Structures are given as C-alpha cells and as structure tokens.
Amino acid sequence: MPNYTNSLWSDAVPPTTYAPLSSNLAVDVAVVGAGITGVTAARLLQSGGRRVAIIEARRVGKGETGKTTAHLTEALDTRYHTLISRFGVGGARLAAEGQRLAIDQIATLAHELQVLCDFRRVPGYLYAEKRSELAELEAEARAVEKLGLEASLTDEVPLPFPVARGLRFENQATFHPRLYLQALVEAATRDGVQLFEETQVVGIEESGGICRVNTDRGVVTAREVVVAAHVPISNRFLLHTKLAAYRTYAVAFEQPAPGADALFWDLGDPYHYTRSQKIGDRNYVVVGGDDHKVGEDEDTAIPFIHLENYVREKFGREVAATDYRWSGQIIVPVDGLPLVGRNSASTHIHVASGYAGNGMTNGTLAAMVLAEQIIHGKSRFTELLHPTRIKPLASARSFITENVDYPKHLIQDRLPYPGPEALAAIQPGEGQVVSLGGERLAIYRNANGELSALSPACTHLGCLVHWNSTEKRWDCPCHGSRFDPHGRVLNGPAMAALEAREIPDVPETEDEPRAPAMPGQEHAPTP
C-alpha cells in the first residue's frame, strides 16, 4: 500500500526533542499547541514581555501545520461576495485586511529571524475552468473591487491547460512551512519561551482570575491561556456547533520544468488548489483538494486516486510517479470567518479555530489578535472574530446544514455493524468497528496479527469513531476528534483516550445487539 502520510515537507527538518513537563509550573501565559497559531502567539507574547510556556501533546509541527500546502493569500475560502452579504462591506474589508496583515507578519518574522524558508511574493489566480463558473468569478471580481483589493479579471492564467477566465490577486505569498515553523520555535525558545512536548492537556479551568492547565504530566498555572490546538478543546459544546471538520488531501509530483510561480484555486466541486515548489534541484507541482466531511468517505484512499488522475490529466503524463501524498483536517466555520477570542463564559481563556483552508494566514492573524488582546486589552478584530458572535440570519442555513450531522451520526451509530465474522478480514495494521458479545467495539489488529479492543464512543460527545485506513487511526465524524490505533488522543475536542475493552469470546455469528438508548430516551427502542 502507498504511504499516505508523506508530506513534501516531511524530510526538511529533524524531529524536535523538547522534554515533557516534569513539574508544576507558573507562567503569565500558557499556550496549548505548537502549530503555527501557538508558536506565533508565544513568540509575539514573549516579545511583549510575557513569560510563556507552550504545551504540546506530540511534537512541534505534527498537527495540521506540518500538512499544509502553504498558500498565503487574501482570497479566502468563503468568497468575499458572501462575506459582504453576511458582515457588510466594512466587515469583509476588515477580514481581507487581516489576511494582508498576516502575510506581512510572516514576511517580517521570516526576515527578522533570517529564516531561509523560501518565502516569496507571488500572484494568486481564482479561475473559472468552465464558462458556467464565469458568473461566480465575476461576482467575486465585483466584490473585491468594492473592498479595494489589488485584483483584476484576466484571460492570462499561466496554467498548462485552458481555462475560461481568472481573477488575479497581486502580492500573495508562499513559503516552506516546516522551515518557517522550526526557525520560529528555535527563536522563541532561545529567547525564553518554555516548550514542553509529549505533554497532553486534559483539562483547563479558570477560577478567581487564575487558570489551571491540567496535563498528564503536571499542572501549569497561568493568568491567561491561549488554546491553539486547532479546535477549541476548552469548550465542550457551544463553539463546536459553529464548526465542521473536513478532510482535505494533497499530492506533490515532480515536474521536468518549473511551473509558474503562482497560486491557483479553481471554482469546481470538488475543488483544487495548486502551486509550485522547488526543493533542492527538483521542481514539484503541489495539488490539493477533494475535501469531504470527516467520517463521510469510507475509503480515504479514493480522494488520492482522484487527485493523482487530476494531476496527470491536467499537467501531462510526463509528471513523475509520486511518493508524496498526505491529508489532514480543516475546520470550517459556519459563517465563513474564524472564531478568535475569549472562550464563551471565560475571561482569561482564549480560543482560535475555524480557519477553513486558510489556516496559515488565519492562524497567524489569530496569534496577532490574541497577543494584542492579552497585552493591550483589545484588538480592532475583537468584534468581527469574537467566538460567541451571533449572526443567526446570515448563517442560519449553513448552521443547520452542518449541525444536522451530529444527531445524524448519533442515529447512524445505531445502525447494524458487522458481527464477529468480520474479525478475520481485519488485516494487520487495520481497524474496524465490530459488534461483539452485545456491544460495539473498535477492533485493531497489530503488525503481529494480535487484536485489541476499545470502546468506539468518542470521549467528546459520544459519536462512534470510524477507522481511517490511510492515516491508520480512529476519526470521529461529529467534531473531528482523532485517536491513534490504541485510543490515545491525537487531536481534540476529545481530551480523554478511548476506553480499553476486553474482546469477548463469541461464536463466529451472533445477533446484532439492541441499540443503546439515545440521550434523553429512557429505553432503547426495538429495532
């Protein structure tokens, strides 16, 4: 089977080896997560005179930042004509300004730290491949003109296949994300930020103006906490109703000659995002897309086949075979803008999430906004991005569409699962949810052929996890929690591991057990 977790950036930097937390600690600001959001926030807060500790469950860059394709752009996934209808011209203009500030912040940090991360300013093209997409492209052109962005319609789109028309954005950017993150971490820790890896946050409390960050290795007390874990793990329910987890996929193919140094986004469904990257003397075309909601594609190898076919069709058969295939999660906000600011009902716990596919810029912007709020008390983005903002009319449709999935998954979880006869078909290194001895179990077979069992109930709100065969882990379809084959949390909102279970001794066939009662039901219904 191909390696589906090999990103183009994987070999660029050796893994970091920061020690875990070994005793309780007190700091001014505790930052949870060492991706672009957490590390940028830590650097800015430390530059502002705060004592900062970063607590990372795994290793630096092991989250989504290590999987990005690093388009740094003002062209947000939610189109500006939609943002204008939801947030008005002023709100949409401020949203665009935030992206511009984030790109400039990355440029400044890369320059100050003398990071050789291949940061470069490039144009970006939103393009209509088919004439039927022209109306949407033109609506977006009118919207960005209204907002004063430097962008214009063009018939010259430097792709090796014909397109109907493009909207060219000037002065966008791109870089090598792992080299940038590594340099930022080294500078921050050299200048006093404490970084603890392999330290899992299991709870965050606030009382009397002091926050306690409980980890599996000790307690960090802090005046302020920045939750930069990609999802708001400090919030059990409310914020998750405004967010939806999607999987996105990427491949990088070596090309005989460099492609145009620009960013490209199509208007198709499923959509594609494309750019070039030179590494050493090799030229790559990097293409991403084929997104779907987490847990809704049973075979996660299929999007890779679609992407590879797409690259061969569009970029010619001479592109070499690829070893670079990877995927990750993006967290999509219902109204199109990220959630950045104080957690609901908290004064000193701050969250940042809902970046959609613009997390390199949105993560940097979130770090800037939170650092400014903590140091100076406010930011001009506070109101626009506030996590508890209510835009009921503007986003009601997408709110309902996304949130219907949580009860839908709870109901789907009650449908029959395969019984004991399925055990023999589980290959080494694979997993499946199976119905055994009256309960459903998440079964994993290790490389030696031994089976182990977990409760499949996600420790966030109880949906049943699905096996992800390309990344070899359990994914929760409701809010995107991920667990390794042994049930350990890889990413929240869940903070506790899946519970271990015994595998019962059962005959090869047995009746499907009655479904457990739904929350609020006294008895399980008869199937």
By a kind-dependent CB cut-off of 5 to 8 A, residue 461 interacts, out of ligand FES, ligand FAD, none, with ligand FES
Q: How far apart are CA 341 and CA 227, in angstroms?
A: 10
- In the structure encoding, which two tokens stand for residue 213, read together? 């960050």
What is the dihedral angle through the alpha carbons of 407, 409, 414, 419, rounded to the nearest 10 degrees? -170
How many amino acids of this chain bind ligand FES (CB under 6 A)?
A: 12
Is residue 332 close enough to count as binding ligand FES by CB under 6 A?
no
Of the pair 432, 491, the CB lying nearest ligand FAD is at 491
Provide the minimum distance between the beta carbon of 319 and ligand FAD in the complex, in angstroms, as a whole number.
19
Of the pair 144, 494, the CB lying nearest ligand FAD is at 494
Q: How far apart are CA 466 and CA 454, in angstroms?
A: 12
Is residue 463 close enough to count as binding ligand FES by CB under 6 A?
yes
Is residue 487 close enough to count as binding ligand FES by CB under 6 A?
no
Of the pair 358, 398, the CB lying nearest ligand FAD is at 358
Is residue 464 close enough to count as binding ligand FES by CB under 6 A?
no
By a kind-dependent CB cut-off of 5 to 8 A, residue 493 interacts, out of ligand FAD, ligand FES, none, with ligand FES
Query: Is the sign of the CA dihedral 171, 177, 181, 182 positive or negative?
Result: negative
Stretch that binds ligand FES, among 44-52, 106-114, 185-193, 459-467 (CB under 6 A): 459-467
- In the structure encoding, which two tokens stand for residue 143, read together? 């919207």
Of the pair 42, 478, the CB lying nearest ligand FES is at 478
Note whether 230 and 332 are within 8 A (CB).
no
Q: How far apart are CA 42 and CA 32, in angstroms?
A: 10
State the residue for tokens 């084959």. Answer: 485
Of the pair 183, 423, the CB lying nearest ligand FAD is at 183
Is residue 458 close enough to count as binding ligand FES by CB under 6 A?
yes
Of the pair 228, 433, the CB lying nearest ligand FAD is at 228
By a kind-dependent CB cut-off of 5 to 8 A, residue 200 interacts, out of ligand FAD, ligand FES, none, with ligand FAD
Provide the minimum distance between the beta carbon of 25 and ligand FAD in the complex, in angstroms, as a whole number.
14
- In the structure encoding, which two tokens stand for residue 145, read together? 């003109």
By a kind-dependent CB cut-off of 5 to 8 A, residue 481 interacts, out of ligand FES, ligand FAD, none, with ligand FES
- SS3 (DSSP) at 386: coil
Q: Could you write out the DSSP letters of every residue in 116-148?
A: -S--EEEEEEEEESSGGGHHHHHHHHHHHHHHT
490-493: Cβ within 8 A, 24+ apart: 490/57, 490/58, 491/63, 491/229, 491/230, 491/231, 491/329, 492/229, 492/231, 492/233, 492/460, 493/231, 493/232, 493/233, 493/235, 493/236, 493/240, 493/460
Using CB under 6 A, list all residues that contact ligand FAD.
32-38, 55-58, 62-65, 67-71, 200-201, 228-230, 233, 248, 250, 288, 327-328, 330, 355, 357-361, 363, 491-492, 495
Is residue 495 close enough to count as binding ligand FES by CB under 6 A?
no
Residue type, 399: F
Is residue 461 close enough to count as binding ligand FES by CB under 6 A?
yes
Is residue 479 close enough to count as binding ligand FES by CB under 6 A?
yes
Would you tell me which residues interact with ligand FES (CB under 6 A)? Answer: 458, 460-463, 476, 478-481, 493-494
